[in-house]
C-alpha cells in the first residue's frame, strides 16, 4: 500500500509539474532576450490581439529588407527556428519573424484551433508585415499545412512558400473515429504541457486537411518542398500529393535531404540555410 501511495503521489506531482511548469515547449521572453542578446542579435517580442485571441511572435533584423516568416509544427513553438534566426548570413538577407501558432508558446497556450481558423487569425498579422519587399513563408511539419492554407487564402502576398517536411496529404493521416473523440475529452485531459493541444490538433487534422485540399489549387506563388529522405513521421508522399494538387502554383521545386529525418530545423539547419539564401 505504501508503494502504491508513493507511486500515486509521484504521478500527481509529475502531472502538476508537467502541466504548469515543464513540457510547455516554449521559451520565456526573458530567456529569448538573454540568448539573442548573448549573440548580439536584436530581438523584438510582440503580443497582439486578434478577434479576442492573443498572438505572440518574435522578429529580428530591420524591417526594410525581405521578410521570412516561420510557422512551427506541433507541439513546439517559435524557438524551433532558433538556429536559422541567430545565423548572421540569414539576418543579413531577411527580416525573420517566427510566430507561436494558436494554442502553443504564448499564443493562448492550451487553446488550439482548427487549421482554417488558425489561418484566418494569422493572416491579418502577416498583412502587417508588408514593407514593400518580398515576403517568404516557411512552415515545418503541421506548419506546412498552415502555410499552404495561408498561401491559398492570400495568393498574392507571398513571393515563395517553403514547406519543410510538411504534412498536407489527408491520406497519410488516420481517420477521426468516435473513440478518439471520447479519448480526447477524457484521458487527453491528463496529458502534460504542449502534448494536450497537440493531441487535439491531431484529432482534427485529417478532416482539416480534407478541407484544405479544395484550396490547394488557389496557391499561385512558387512552392519549394524540402523533405528528409528518411522521414517516417511525415511520409515523403506528402510532396507528391502537393505537386499533384497545387495545379496553379507558378512553379514547384522539390529538394530531398539525404539521410534526413523529420526535425529538419534542428538537424539540418545549415542545409536549409543554404537553400533559403538562394531565394530570389
Within 10 Å of residue 24's Cβ, how many Cβ atoms? 22
- Which pLDDT belongs to residue 56? 98
Alpha-carbon distance of 161 to 166, in angstroms, equals 11
How many Cα atoms are found within 13 Å in the side-chain-facing hemisphere of 16?
6
Q: What is the pLDDT of residue 88?
A: 96
- Three-state DSSP class for residue 124: helix
What's the pLDDT score for residue 61?
79
pTM of the model: 0.89
Q: What is the pLDDT of residue 180?
A: 57
Task: For residue 171, give the C-alpha cell.
Answer: 491520406
Look-up: residue for cell 477521426?
Answer: 176
- pLDDT, block means (10 residues), the chain with 280 residues: 61 50 81 96 96 96 92 96 97 97 96 97 97 97 98 97 98 68 59 82 94 98 98 97 98 98 97 97
Question: How far apart, in whole angstroms, are the C-alpha atoms of residue 211 and residue 207?
Answer: 6
The 10s digit of each residue's pLDDT in 159-193 is 999 999 999 999 998 765 454 555 555 655 666 78
CA distance 47 to 55: 6
Buried b (16+ CB within 10 A) or exposed e, 77-104: bbbbbbbbbbbeebbebbbbbbbbbbbb
What topology does CATH give the domain 26-276?
Rossmann fold (3.40.50)
Q: What are the strands, taking DSSP E only, across the chain?
A: 44-50, 53-60, 67-71, 95-99, 135-140, 160-164, 223-228, 252-257
Amino acid at each position: 500500500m505504501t508503494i502504491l501511495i508513493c507511486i500515486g503521489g509521484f504521478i500527481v506531482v509529475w502531472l502538476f509539474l508537467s502541466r504548469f511548469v515543464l513540457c510547455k515547449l516554449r521559451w520565456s521572453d526573458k530567456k529569448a532576450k538573454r540568448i539573442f542578446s548573448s549573440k548580439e542579435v536584436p530581438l523584438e517580442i510582440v503580443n497582439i490581439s486578434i478577434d479576442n485571441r492573443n498572438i505572440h511572435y518574435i522578429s529580428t533584423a530591420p524591417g526594410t529588407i525581405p521578410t521570412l516568416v516561420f510557422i512551427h509544427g506541433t507541439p513546439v513553438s517559435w524557438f524551433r527556428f532558433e538556429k536559422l534566426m541567430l545565423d548572421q548570413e540569414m539576418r543579413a538577407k531577411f527580416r525573420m519573424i517566427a510566430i507561436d501558432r494558436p494554442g502553443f508558446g504564448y499564443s493562448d497556450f492550451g487553446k488550439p484551433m482548427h487549421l482554417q481558423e488558425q489561418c484566418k487569425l494569422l493572416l491579418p498579422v502577416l498583412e502587417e508585415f508588408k514593407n514593400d519587399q518580398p515576403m517568404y513563408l516557411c512552415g515545418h511539419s503541421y506548419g506546412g499545412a498552415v502555410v499552404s492554407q495561408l498561401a491559398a487564402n492570400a495568393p498574392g502576398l507571398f513571393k515563395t512558400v517553403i514547406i519543410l517536411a510538411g504534412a498536407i496529404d489527408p491520406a497519410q493521416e488516420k481517420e477521426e473515429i468516435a473513440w478518439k473523440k471520447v479519448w480526447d475529452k477524457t484521458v487527453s485531459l491528463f496529458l502534460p504541457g504542449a502534448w494536450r493541444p497537440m493531441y487535439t490538433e491531431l484529432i482534427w487534422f485529417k478532416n482539416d486537411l480534407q478541407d484544405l485540399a479544395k484550396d490547394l489549387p488557389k496557391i499561385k506563388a512558387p512552392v519549394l518542398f524540402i523533405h528528409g529522405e528518411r522521414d517516417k513521421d511525415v511520409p515523403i508522399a506528402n510532396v507528391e500529393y502537393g505537386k499533384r494538387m497545387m495545379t496553379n502554383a507558378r512553379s514547384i521545386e522539390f529538394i530531398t535531404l539525404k539521410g534526413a529525418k523529420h526535425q529538419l530545423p534542428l538537424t539540418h539547419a545549415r542545409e536549409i540555410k543554404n537553400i533559403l539564401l538562394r531565394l530570389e
